[in-house]
């Protein structure tokens, strides 16, 4: 049930008006990585993104997939992997959110540079692409940290019940390091 709620949270909060790049998808990837088996965390974030992309396509005419899709989805999979890798460390959730936002920034903007004619396909074009994306990074980082903290705090009271469900890591919240 919680994976469905997490997908719904991601989809709804991508559709409703929100500050640019302040969405819970990266944080959901970190959270899933911390609390679910790797395959389940990856599936959750890919499904959340695909359903959200399909909804945005239907509502706003955006393409469901593009040349950038593998880079964007890959960035979220990296965030889930970081959540898993840092789950037992004190401050691991926030660390995974920060590192994940950086990884997402690097990977998704590399995809923009690679698939775009806006930038020359050399080192200076790649640098220009990253520099142009910096204004969007602050909201991504803030959103990932805020949503990661909220999801982590909300998880603690539910951990014992969720640990018995398929796909969830069978550890109580007390064994996860603090946010």
Q: Indicate yes or no: pTM above 0.75.
A: yes
The per-residue pLDDT for range 52-87, each reduced to its tens digit, is: 999 999 999 988 999 999 999 999 999 999 999 998
pLDDT of residue 91: 87
Query: Could you tell me if residue 175 is inside a domain?
Result: no
Our count of domains for the chain comes to 1
Q: What is the mean pLDDT of the chain?
A: 89
Q: How confident is the model at residue 152 (pLDDT cuts 50, 70, 90)?
A: confident
Residue 170 located in a structural domain? no
> For the domain that residue 148 is a member of, what is the CATH number?
1.10.1760
Q: Is residue 8 part of a domain?
A: yes
- The confidence score (pLDDT) of residue 106 equals 98
Quote the radius of gyration of the chain (alpha carbons, Å).
16
The reply to whether 177 falls in a domain is: no
The Cα–Cα gap between 61 and 37 comes to 34
Share of the chain above pLDDT 90, in %: 66
Least confident residue range of 9-18, 86-95, 123-132, 151-160: 151-160
Confidence tier at 168 by pLDDT (50, 70, 90) = low
Asked if 86 and 96 count as a contact pair (C-beta separation under 8 A), the reply is yes
Q: Report whether pLDDT(130) > 90.
A: yes
Asked whether the CA dihedral 91, 94, 100, 101 is positive or negative, the reply is negative
Domain annotation covers residue 116: yes
Phi, psi at 133, each rounded to 5°: -85, -10
Domain with 118 in it = 2-16+24-165
76 assigned to some structural domain = yes
Q: Are 8 and 24 within 8 A, CB to CB?
A: no
Q: Which two tokens stand for residue 18?
A: 């929100």
What pLDDT was estimated at residue 6?
87
175 DSSP 8-state letter = G
Whether 12 is in a domain gets the answer yes
Instruction: Answer with the residue of higher pLDDT: 79 or 6.
Output: 79
| Backbone phi and psi for residue 120, each to the nearest 5 degrees, phi listed first | -65, 150
At 119 the three-state DSSP class reads coil
With respect to residue 179, please indicate whether it lies within any of the assigned structural domains. Answer: no
């Amino acid at each position: 049930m919680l994976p469905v709620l997490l997908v719904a949270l991601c989809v709804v909060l991508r559709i409703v008006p929100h500050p640019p790049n302040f969405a819970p998808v990266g944080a959901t990837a970190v959270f899933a990585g911390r609390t679910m088996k790797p395959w389940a965390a990856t599936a959750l974030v890919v499904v959340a993104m695909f359903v959200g992309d399909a909804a945005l396509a239907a509502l706003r005419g955006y393409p469901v997939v593009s040349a950038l899709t593998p880079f964007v989805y890959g960035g979220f999979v990296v965030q889930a992997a970081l959540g898993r890798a840092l789950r037992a460390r004190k401050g691991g959730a926030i660390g995974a959110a920060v590192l994940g936002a950086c990884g997402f920034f690097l990977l998704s903007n590399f995809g923009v540079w690679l698939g775009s004619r806006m930038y020359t396909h050399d080192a200076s074009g790649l640098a220009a692409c990253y520099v142009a994306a910096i204004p969007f990074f602050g909201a991504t980082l803030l959103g990932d940290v805020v949503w990661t903290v909220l999801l982590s705090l909300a998880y603690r009271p539910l951990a014992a019940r969720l640990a018995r469900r398929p796909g969830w890591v069978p550890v109580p919240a007390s064994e996860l390091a603090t946010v």
